[in-house]
């Protein structure tokens, strides 16, 4: 399968399947001498791993990380950083009844049409299990960005039809982890929890929205015309399982606005030239302008639900399907560190690319 590598200078290649022996990856292009905080990386994995709460799949994977190369005496060497995460709680028997059946809204049919073969155990390569590898790459990118004083943080802003009730400026982003659902508006979080409990009883699922902010990004990041910063962020987010939408700045809301309402005027401040407002989401002409970058990512409902559905098998025969196994009623809370990881890798990649211009 081609295209398993993401990035131009800061690159991540991933491999492995949900029910294979292991998943893993290679980070290439990370500058040498970066001190690695192994506890930080493991904590990032812990934020994504299954079995965190009643609202996540009960699959018990400790996601213990094993580095194979690229790190010596706690620092990166500049060579490829190889790592694996062994699958220890795969229950492939749960998927035996799906071998010849196409699950609604899954990748079963499309994978088989593309490759002529598919791994039906947990979705194989199409499983969100692969995203654990992205979190490792993103954690390394975050440590690199920390040296540049750039921060990336995401949070749940909507589950189903329930949205955060406070304005972003009024939220304490640091309180994200205080909520089981990673929603910093704890009042809205409680309503979301009640809704997910109701859905679980009905054997159903729902989607939601993750919002992300990138603070202190320098101006000048982005490669016109085809590698615009928002284009790369959009591709990064849309590559995540279950993502159906991406918008930055005022996004689709701007379609109903006037230019006089949406334009960000430039002003002179003690810190230099800034914009008076930030409707653009920190990106103009595909290049960062030094303001905070913010965007939203929309996730569809989990396709694996336990209630009865109608589909067809490989012979085209109609069958009733009740999916067994272990699944999330909503993937959005566990996807927060994945969104952060992909955003961090995009910014790290573009920082390195910008340095190629400015440090010749």
The pLDDT of residue 321: 85
CA separation for the pair 176, 179 (Å, rounded): 6
CA separation for the pair 271, 276 (Å, rounded): 13
CA separation for the pair 131, 335 (Å, rounded): 9
The pLDDT of residue 175: 80
In this structure, are residues 49 and 333 in contact, taking their beta carbons and an 8 Å threshold?
no
Q: Which domains does the chain show, CATH number per domain?
A: 5-358 (3.60.150.10)
68-79 mean pLDDT: 98
- pTM given for the model: 0.93
Question: At 169, is the pLDDT very low, low, confident or very high (cuts 50, 70, 90)?
Answer: low
Residue with tokens 């929205």: 209
Q: Which residue(s) pair with 320 in the sheet?
A: 310
Q: Up-side HSE of residue 11: CA atoms within 13 Å toward CB?
A: 13
pLDDT tens-digit series, residues 59-70: 566 889 999 999
pLDDT tens-digit series, residues 295-330: 999 999 988 888 888 999 999 999 988 776 557 789
CB atoms inside a 10 Å sphere around CB 176? 19
125-147 mean pLDDT: 96
pLDDT tens-digit series, residues 224-250: 999 999 999 999 999 999 999 999 999
What lies within 8 Å, CB to CB, of 2 at 6+ separation is none
- In sign, the C-alpha dihedral spanning 67, 12, 153, 105 is negative
8-18 mean pLDDT: 95
Q: In the structure encoding, which two tokens stand for residue 301, read together?
A: 């409902």
CA separation for the pair 209, 294 (Å, rounded): 13
The pLDDT of residue 213: 95
Q: Which residue(s) pair with 5 in the sheet?
A: 13
pLDDT tens-digit series, residues 258-300: 999 999 999 999 989 999 999 999 999 999 999 999 999 999 9
Q: In the structure encoding, which two tokens stand for residue 251, read together?
A: 């996004």
The pLDDT of residue 290: 97
β-pairing, 293-299 vs 208-215, is antiparallel
CB atoms inside a 10 Å sphere around CB 52? 16
> What contacts 24+ positions apart, CB below 8 Å, involve 177-184?
177/47, 180/52, 180/53, 180/55, 180/333, 181/55, 181/156, 181/332, 181/333, 182/155, 182/156, 182/333, 182/336, 183/155, 183/156, 183/157, 183/159, 184/155
């Amino acid at each position: 399968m081609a295209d398993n590598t993401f990035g131009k200078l800061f690159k991540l290649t991933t491999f492995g399947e949900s029910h294979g022996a292991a998943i893993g990856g290679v980070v290439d292009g990370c500058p040498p001498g970066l001190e690695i905080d192994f506890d930080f990386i493991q904590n990032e994995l812990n934020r994504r791993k299954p079995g965190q709460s009643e609202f996540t799949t009960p699959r018990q994977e400790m996601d213990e990380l094993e580095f194979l190369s690229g790190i010596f005496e706690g620092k990166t060497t500049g060579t490829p950083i190889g790592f694996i995460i062994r699958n220890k709680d795969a229950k492939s028997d749960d998927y035996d009844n799906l071998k010849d059946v196409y699950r609604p809204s899954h990748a079963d049919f499309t994978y088989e049409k593309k490759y002529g073969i598919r791994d039906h155990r947990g979705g194989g390569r199409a499983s969100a299990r692969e995203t654990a590898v992205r979190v490792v790459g993103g954690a390394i990118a975050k440590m690199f960005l920390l040296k540049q004083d750039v921060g990336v943080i995401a949070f749940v802003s909507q589950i189903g039809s329930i949205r955060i009730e406070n304005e972003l400026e009024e939220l304490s982003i640091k309180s994200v982890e205080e909520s089981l659902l990673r929603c910093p508006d704890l009042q809205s979080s409680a309503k979301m929890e009640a809704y997910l409990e109701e859905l679980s009883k009905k054997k159903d699922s729902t989607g939601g929205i993750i919002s992300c902010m990138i603070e202190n990004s320098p101006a000048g990041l982005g490669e016109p015309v085809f590698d615009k910063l928002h284009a790369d962020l959009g591709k990064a987010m849309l590559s995540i399982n279950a993502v159906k939408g991406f918008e930055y700045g005022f996004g689709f809301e701007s379609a109903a606005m006037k230019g006089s309402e949406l334009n960000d005027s430039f002003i002179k401040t003690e810190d230099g030239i800034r914009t008076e407002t930030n409707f653009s989401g920190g990106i103009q002409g595909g290049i960062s302008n030094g303001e905070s970058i913010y965007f939203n990512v929309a996730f569809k409902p989990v396709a694996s639900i336990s209630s009865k559905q109608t589909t067809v098998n490989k012979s085209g025969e109609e069958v009733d399907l009740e999916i067994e196994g272990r699944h999330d009623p909503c993937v959005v809370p566990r996807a927060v560190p994945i969104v952060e990881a992909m955003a961090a890798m995009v910014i790290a990649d573009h920082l390195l690319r910008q340095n190629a211009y400015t440090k010749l």
